[in-house]
């Protein structure tokens, strides 16, 4: 079973990896719309001032600029909150990045409800859906500091537009620091036979906790970390569900448009099975501490455990 | 080579014929703005930029590059690109037809040489051009970045985000051209939402402003050359080109009606009598 020695924020994993990329690859440039500290891009900005582009509070322009820089052969990483990285600039991403096939890395912090006290204007739980809808867009949502670090390094090697989603709060850091991040390759964290739990981002650790709770109840859960939502690792999904014959999906996102929806769509075509979704119903968030919000919106280990029991009960 | 003003005018005449025939052939498209931009695009490619059409590369290293922000004037751009040699002339007959590389609005997604960025949804091109220009400074690439904008397009907020950035950060290897025909789909720009004192606006954003008559070839060339000479001096440059929508065809001028309407057979025949065939029309069928 996995353990952790410290909690760290995923955004710091992004910032540390960006600094390393700056040292390794002169083509890497970073753009930020007045949130350098929040995105942990300050180390890169300080080390490589000529490759750091402060655009001011002008997110649409930042995305367009990144597309132009990619045209010149650079590898631009844009940074702002997830809401301002997606909904605010959707058409810019659609036309200048995705349709134009530009090698832009859209790096989004403070995703989901754990942005916390600022409330629904800044929380976004629609971003996975928005981004996965764009043809050619890769969507990645790592689970902890180490995985965000590795994912940031990996996307610099990937030719094409990427949406990298991470967050604000400190969460258990349990991914081995030397684990290689393979885009599109899901990670099986526990072996199980009774139910599969597909989790992404901040819900991966609660999914592992749920697996422990289920084990105590004599239920064997297979936890799979879907760090890459698009392209979905269909092989991993079907192999596991063929064995367990039911599943839970868990994510800090709306049910509409999320990872769970992608898995349900795939399973409905490939191998229908009962699926319970741990995600947020059709509503906006609100102010509160990250922990209180996760509790209120049912994004907890307890919720995953209960969903697993329900899914098992629905098996024919 | 250096094309004379007279040669450029001959090319522009043929481009105008291409525009009318393409839009007529597709039974859709935007002839008015395309005709108004013809002289600017012709001068830019054949006299000012002169890129190597035989080896189009996305990064354009070693050459000037161009972004079209008002993508709906694609017929003018496609014709100039084909006449310049980026792709076969006969391909112009495929404009807006199924499986064409000449989409209604330009895109690099279909692999058409000469195109670096999709445009059509307005207001995005200045940011892309600014990004390319900033990247060129970083790379030590001394050649310039050009972009073109409609005037109605300047109502988009992103244009002014980019203008503010380029002025503040002294992106002085960038030349924007505004096709100032003072008309847009719903009518005169002054009645839709007036642009006010346009030169003053750009200058307040830190740009070096030039103005010219946009359908008079000698004035266009002279002004674009002035713009090039003004680069590298700490300011981005904008050329506000006073153009006439529908320029060259009497019944398409003085109205916004021909913004996005194709001529019928009779109208095409009438229009073509007004514009001399100088270099030979492209074949009717692909």
What ipTM was reported for this prediction? 0.97
Is the predicted pLDDT of residue A1 greater than 80, yes or no?
A: no
This prediction has a pTM of 0.97
3-class state of residue A240 by DSSP: helix
Residue B143 DSSP code: S
* Average confidence score pLDDT of chain B: 97
Closest CA to B75 of B110, B106, B120: B106
Q: How many domains does chain B have?
A: 1
Count of C-beta atoms within a 10 Å radius of residue A235: 11
Say if the Cβ atoms of B109 and A91 lie within 8 Å: no
Say if the Cβ atoms of B124 and A64 lie within 8 Å: yes
Provide the pLDDT for residue A32: 98
Provide the pLDDT for residue A181: 98
Question: Above pLDDT 90, what percent of chain B?
Answer: 99
Alpha helices in chain B (DSSP H): 5-26, 31-43, 74-84, 125-139, 157-168, 189-193, 198-204, 217-229, 265-273
Is the predicted pLDDT of residue B226 greater than 80, yes or no?
A: yes
Is the predicted pLDDT of residue A254 greater than 80, yes or no?
A: yes
Residue B279 located in a structural domain: no
Interface test with A, best of B135, B138, B173 (most A CBs within 10 A): B135
Is the predicted pLDDT of residue A101 greater than 80, yes or no?
A: yes
Is the predicted pLDDT of residue B44 greater than 90, yes or no?
A: yes
pLDDT tens digit sequence for B53-98: 999 999 999 999 999 999 999 999 999 999 999 999 999 999 999 9
Q: For residue A316, what pLDDT band results from cuts at 50, 70 and 90?
A: confident
Provide the pLDDT for residue A35: 97
Contact status, residue B262 vs residue B27, Cβ threshold 8 Å: yes
Strand partners, B276: none
Residue B281 located in a structural domain: no
Residues B126-131: what's their mean pLDDT? 98
Question: Above pLDDT 70, what percent of chain A?
Answer: 100
Q: Which residues contact B84 (CB under 8 A, 6 or more apart)?
A: B45, B46, B51, B53, B114
Residue B285 located in a structural domain: no
Cα–Cα dist A85/A88, whole Å: 7
Is the predicted pLDDT of residue A2 greater than 90, yes or no?
A: no
Provide the pLDDT for residue A28: 98
Residues A2-19: what's their mean pLDDT? 96
Q: What is the CATH number of the domain that holds B221?
A: 3.40.50.970
Closest CA to A249 of A306, A286, A199, A179: A199
Residue A73 DSSP code: T
Interface test with B, best of A48, A61, A73, A91 (most B CBs within 10 A): A61
User: Could you tell me the domains of chain A?
Assistant: 7-172 (3.40.50.970), 187-313 (3.40.50.920)
Give the structural domain span for B235. 5-273
Residues B146-171: what's their mean pLDDT? 98
Residue B280 located in a structural domain: no
Contact status, residue A224 vs residue A236, Cβ threshold 8 Å: yes
Residues B119-134: what's their mean pLDDT? 98
What residue in B sits closest to A68 (Cα-Cα)? B128
Strand partners, A171: A8
* Average confidence score pLDDT of chain A: 98
Tell me whether B243 touches chain A (CB under 8 Å): no
Residues A78-92: what's their mean pLDDT? 98
Q: Which residues contact A49 (CB under 8 A, 6 or more apart)?
A: none
Tell me whether B132 touches chain A (CB under 8 Å): yes
**In the block, residue with structure tokens 């606006």:** B201
């Amino acid at each position: 079973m996995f353990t952790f020695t410290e909690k760290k924020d995923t955004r710091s994993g992004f910032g540390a990896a960006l600094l390393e990329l700056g040292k390794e690859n002169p083509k890497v440039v970073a753009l930020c719309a007045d949130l350098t500290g929040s995105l942990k891009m300050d180390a890169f900005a300080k080390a490589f001032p000529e490759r750091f582009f402060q655009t001011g509070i002008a997110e649409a322009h930042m995305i367009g600029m990144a597309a132009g820089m990619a045209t010149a052969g650079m590898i631009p990483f844009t940074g702002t909150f997830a809401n301002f990285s997606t909904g605010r600039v959707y058409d810019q991403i659609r036309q200048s990045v995705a349709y134009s096939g530009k090698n832009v890395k859209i790096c989004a912090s403070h995703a989901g409800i754990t942005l916390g006290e600022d409330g629904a204007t800044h929380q976004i739980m629609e971003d996975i859906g928005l981004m996965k809808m764009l043809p050619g867009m890769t969507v990645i949502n790592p689970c902890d500091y180490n995985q965000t670090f590795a994912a940031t390094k990996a996307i610099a090697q990937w030719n094409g537009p990427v949406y990298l989603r991470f967050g604000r709060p400190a969460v258990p850091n349990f991914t081995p620091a030397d684990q290689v991040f393979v885009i599109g390759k899901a990670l099986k964290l526990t072996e199980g036979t009774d139910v599969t739990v597909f989790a992404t981002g901040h819900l991966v650790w609660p999914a592992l906790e749920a697996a422990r709770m289920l084990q105590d109840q004599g239920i064997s859960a297979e936890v799979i970390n879907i760090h890459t939502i698009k392209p979905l690792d269909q092989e991993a999904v079907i192999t596991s569900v063929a064995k367990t014959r039911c599943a839970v999906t868990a994510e800090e996102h709306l049910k509409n448009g999320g990872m769970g929806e992608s898995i349900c769509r795939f399973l409905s075509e490939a191998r229908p099975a009962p699926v319970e979704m741990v995600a947020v119903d059709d509503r906006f968030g609100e102010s509160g501490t990250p922990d209180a919000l996760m509790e209120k919106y049912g994004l907890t280990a307890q919720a995953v455990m209960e969903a697993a029991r329900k899914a098992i009960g629905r098996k024919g | 080579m250096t094309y004379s003003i007279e040669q450029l005018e001959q090319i522009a005449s043929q481009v105008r014929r291409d525009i009318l025939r393409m839009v007529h052939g597709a039974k859709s498209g935007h002839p008015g703005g395309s005709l108004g931009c013809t002289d600017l695009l012709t001068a830019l490619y054949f006299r000012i930029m002169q890129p190597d059409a035989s080896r189009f590369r996305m990064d354009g290293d070693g050459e000037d590059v161009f972004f079209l922000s008002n993508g709906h004037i694609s017929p003018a751009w496609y014709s100039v690109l084909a006449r310049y040699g980026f792709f076969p002339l006969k391909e112009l007959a495929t404009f807006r037809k199924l499986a064409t590389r000449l989409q209604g609005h330009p895109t690099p997604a279909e692999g058409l040489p000469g195109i670096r960025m999709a445009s059509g949804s307005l207001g995005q091109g200045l940011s892309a051009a600014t990004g390319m220009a900033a990247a060129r400074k970083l790379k030590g690439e001394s050649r310039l970045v050009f972009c073109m904008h409609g005037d109605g397009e300047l109502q988009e907020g992103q244009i002014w985000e980019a203008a503010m950035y380029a002025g503040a950060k002294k992106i002085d290897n960038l030349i924007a051209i505004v096709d100032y025909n003072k008309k847009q789909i719903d009518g005169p720009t002054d009645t839709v939402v007036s642009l006010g004192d346009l030169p003053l606006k750009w200058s307040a954003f830190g740009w070096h402003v030039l103005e010219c008559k946009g359908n008079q070839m000698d004035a266009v060339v002279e002004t674009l050359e002035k713009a090039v000479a003004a680069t590298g001096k700490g300011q981005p440059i904008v050329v506000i080109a006073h153009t006439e929508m529908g320029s060259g065809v009497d019944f398409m001028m003085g109205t916004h009606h021909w913004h996005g309407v194709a001529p019928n057979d009779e109208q095409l025949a009438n229009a073509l009598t007004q514009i001399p065939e100088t270099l030979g029309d492209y074949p009717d069928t692909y």
